[in-house]
Amino acid sequence: MFNRLKPKSKFTRNVLTLMTGTTIAQAIPIAISPILTRVYTPEDFGIFALYIAMVSFIAIVVTARYELAIVLPQTDREAINILALSLIIMSFIVVFLIIIILLFKDNLLTLLNIQNVGNFIYLMPLSILIAGLNQSFNYWSNRKEYFKNISSSQILQSIGIGVTQPTLGYLHLFGGLIVGNLIGRIIGTFVLINSFFKNDRAILVNVEKNMMVEQMKKYKDFPLINSFHAFSDILRSSGSIMLISSFFGSAVVGFYALSLRVLQVPVGIVGSALGQVLYQKFTTMYNNDENLYPYVKKIVLLLFIISLPIFAILYYIAPDLFAFVFGENWRVAGEYSQILIPYLFMNFLISPISSLPLILNKQKEIFYISLVGNIMFVSVFIIFNDIGILEILKILTLTQFIFYLYVGFWYFKIVKRDKI
């Protein structure tokens, strides 16, 4: 009976496997958030958001984006050399960062206006190292279709964070949010690395200097173009956190961070899980000269039908929902969420198919498009910083809704034109 209930399509099974893991992994932070909001202050959340923003700023490019290319080669011999290349680049950057922090810690804190982070800056190289390892081995697992391992990694990472953050909060240890997050990420990354050595250790004999150089040249667009694209994307999210902190203080950052923490759950569950599987699926279809247009159209239409009622309900109940779940002191975060929902809805629709430019060799075009969107995003905070955070978020939502609408039309245009 249970066998008949199992999805017959391999693609559907892979999506469900990842989505199950991602759902559980996303649900745990939301489940513990009512606890965290009662043992940590908005200022604590603000400092944590600022720390993550700084880590993400570097982590997104710590492998020069070569990890994205691990999925693309037809042979594992090529792919393992890309993985090795990613890890070598990451190691050099982390060592360089350690030296810079040890020599210029106070200057960096002042220059970046992140004095609230304090001595936790010493943990940044470790956080960035773990992020680089996770990104690299995650894409290797994606290539090998170890979707159960990816799912397990996400769940165990989330459990680790879910246990340590409240525990450290109850013990009144300063920085519990930061330390707990790091411990959880170490656990999740260990699962992926352990899976690699258990299943694919023998492939390491194929790592060769000449092959690494060959792959580095073949996929040079990833560091030369995609790195700048990714950097501009993270500049938007991390830059906005830093600007809000500078203009409005840590408490407002805390409200904004909790708002995104909750609203990005559906984006994370569907966008991340479905996006990973679609990246592999689109690549296979591309290599087989199949037409992607009807498939992409079907995916986006399905997402629209499923998600519209959910986002509509969230829009009307957000302030009361936040006050009830997280405490009355956090109603403000619900008001922020209510304003941001239309823009995040568009982001939700576009996120799962964002791998298309990589596959269709449109990295330059999407870089310039994204750069415009990111400049618009950050400029809103800079230009309108004197009119209040609520008005800023309204302008932000309007501009980003229009931007993502344009990006969606552009995706359909390039897929239809290429007739793959």
Q: Please list, in sequence order, all residues whose beta carbon lies within 8 angstroms of the beta carbon of residue 247, skipping any fewer than 6 positions away.
A: 381, 385
Residue position matching structure tokens 């931007």:
403
| Cα 370 to Cα 127, 231, 301, 363, 404, distances in angstroms | 26, 10, 23, 10, 10
Other beta carbons within 10 Å of 20: 17
Q: Is 220 helix (H, G, I), strand (E, B) or coil?
A: coil
Q: Which residue has the higher pLDDT, 283 or 407?
A: 407
* C-alpha distance from residue 148 to each of 154, 191, 217 (Å): 10, 11, 32
Q: Which three-class secondary structure state does DSSP give residue 244? A: helix
Helices 389-418 and 331-350: angle between axes, nearest 10 degrees: 10
pLDDT of 379 > 60? The answer is yes
Is the pLDDT assigned to residue 12 strictly greater than 70?
A: no
- Quick one: DSSP state of residue 44? H
Mind listing the pLDDT tens digit for each residue in 99-108? 999 998 888 7
In this predicted structure, the answer to whether residue 9 has a pLDDT above a threshold of 70 is no
pLDDT in tens, 147-173: 888 888 988 998 999 999 999 988 877
| Cα gap 117→163, rounded to integer Å | 23
> In this predicted model, which residue has the larger pLDDT, 96 or 370?
96
pLDDT above 60 for 87: yes
Chain segment 231-251, per-residue pLDDT in tens: 777 777 778 888 888 788 878
Looking at residue 400, what is its pLDDT?
92
Specify the pLDDT at position 10: 63
Between these two residues, 282 and 95, which has the higher pLDDT value? 95
Residue 45 has pLDDT above 50, yes or no: yes
Q: Count H helices, E strands: the chain?
A: 17, 0
In this predicted structure, the answer to whether residue 1 has a pLDDT above a threshold of 60 is no
Q: What is the pLDDT of residue 11?
A: 61
- What does pLDDT average to over the chain? 84
7-11, 118-122, 382-386: range with lowest mean pLDDT:
7-11
| Segment of 137-151, 353-367, 397-411 carrying the highest mean pLDDT | 397-411
* pTM exceeding 0.85: no
pLDDT for residue 22: 66
Report for 169-178, 261-270, 273-282: range of highest mean pLDDT? 169-178
Residue 144: predicted pLDDT:
85
Handedness of CA 22, 82, 356, 229 (dihedral sign): positive
The C-alpha angle 357, 75, 132, rounded to 5 degrees, equals 60
The conformation of residue 327, written as its DSSP 8-state character, comes to: -
**Is 90 exceeded by the pLDDT of residue 184?**
yes
Burial of 87 (0-12, 13-18, 19+ CB in 10 A): middle
Residue 68 sits at the vertex; the CA angle it makes with 368 and 271, to the nearest 5 degrees, is: 75
Neighbours of 5 (CB within 10 A): 6
* 303-362 residue pLDDT tens: 889 888 888 998 999 899 888 888 888 899 999 999 999 988 898 888 888 878 888 878
In this prediction, residues 380-398 reach a mean pLDDT of: 90
- Dump pLDDT digits (tens) for 111-120: 766 667 778 8
The reported pLDDT for the residue numbered 190 is 95
| Residue 399 exposed, middle or buried by CB count within 10 Å (0-12, 13-18, 19+) | middle
Is the pLDDT score of 3 beyond 60?
no
